[in-house]
Amino acid sequence: NTQYPDFTNAKIHGKPAAQVITDRAWLETTFVPQVQNRGAAVIKARGQSSAMSAANGAIDHVKSLLTPT
């Protein structure tokens, strides 16, 4: 699988994720594979890809960049 969640650069409430979630073994052996396999899990649960959700997320993101709040 080519997806790899980079928890070493992630932040939770402004703090490095690895400081908030101190169980590094869980991050490496549970979290990473779960993220890597989430596409297959969505297809299994919904019977279809999550591509439309990703497309809608991209559209919403661009709208938020272009529309001041």
Nearest Cα to Cα of residue 17 among 38, 35, 31, 34 = 31
Tokens of residue 38, six digits: 């989430």
Return the pLDDT at 1. Answer: 62
Return the pLDDT at 37. Answer: 86
pLDDT digits (tens, 9 = 90+) for 22-60: 999 999 999 999 988 887 887 888 787 777 778 888 999
8 A C-beta contact, residue 50 and residue 42: yes
d(CA 35, CA 3): 8
Range of the domain at 55: 11-66
Q: Is 2 contained in some domain?
A: no
Q: Is the pTM of this model over 0.85?
A: no
Q: Is 62 contained in some domain?
A: yes
Q: Is 61 contained in some domain?
A: yes
Return the pLDDT at 59. Answer: 92
Domain count within the chain: 1
